[in-house]
């Protein structure tokens, strides 16, 4: 084996990490995540495995224990779920917000953008308009156009 062909001297193609943001209640998240994987991204969407009622079940569990919302945010479950999402969002090169999404999703995208990293939004029916989406690197109504824009980051 020549020196240039040695594995330590070969250029490694790094896969871009993409954090997919949306709602637990959106059933198209996994399909869209797979489309992004097919394009070549390392997609983090594992948060979606918790299921559509995860937040409601957590709330009800904490209320049954006698905790308020503020108290529940200090509990083990909330701290662990936050740490998991924070770790992967911190490592992400790109974030994509698939609408509709709630407060958490918008906070995640805003935090990511605030770190000077690219973040995109894929609109849904867009009944409600919002001028602040201009903070995003790109806003798209068409999934194919956003995929084209994302390919530029590979």
Indicate whether 68 belongs to any domain: no
pTM value is 0.86
Residue 36 lies inside a defined structural domain of this protein: yes
- Is position 72 within any domain? no
CATH number, domain with residue 105: 3.40.50.450
Write out the residue range of the structural domain in which residue 44 sits. 10-50+88-151
Lowest mean pLDDT, pick from 3-7, 63-67, 109-113: 3-7
- Cα separation, 37 vs 39, in Å, equals 5
Whole-number Å distance between alpha carbons of 60 and 36: 34
Residue 140 forms part of a structural domain: yes
Average pLDDT over residues 15-23: 95
Please give the tally of structural domains in the chain: 1
**Tens-place pLDDT, residues 87-141:** 999 999 999 999 999 999 999 999 999 999 999 999 988 787 899 999 999 999 9
| Interval 49-54 mean pLDDT | 94
Question: Is the Cβ–Cβ distance between 104 and 19 less than 8 Å?
Answer: no
Query: Would 58 be classed as within a structural domain?
Result: no
Q: What percent of the chain clears pLDDT 90, i.e. is strictly above it?
A: 77
């Amino acid at each position: 084996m020549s020196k240039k062909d040695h594995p330590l001297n070969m250029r490694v193609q790094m896969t871009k990490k993409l954090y997919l943001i949306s709602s637990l209640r959106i059933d198209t998240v996994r399909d869209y995540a797979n489309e992004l994987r097919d394009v070549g991204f390392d997609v983090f969407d594992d948060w979606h495995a918790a299921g559509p009622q995860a937040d409601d079940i957590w709330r009800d569990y904490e209320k049954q224990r006698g905790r308020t919302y503020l108290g529940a945010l200090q509990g083990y479950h909330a701290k662990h779920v936050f740490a998991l999402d924070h770790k992967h969002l911190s490592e992400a090169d790109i974030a994509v917000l698939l609408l509709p999404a709630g407060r958490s999703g918008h906070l995640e995208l805003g935090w990511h953008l605030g770190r000077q990293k690219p973040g995109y939004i894929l609109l849904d029916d867009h009944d409600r308009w919002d001028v602040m989406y201009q903070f995003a690197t790109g806003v798209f109504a068409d999934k194919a156009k956003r995929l084209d824009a994302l390919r530029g980051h590979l």
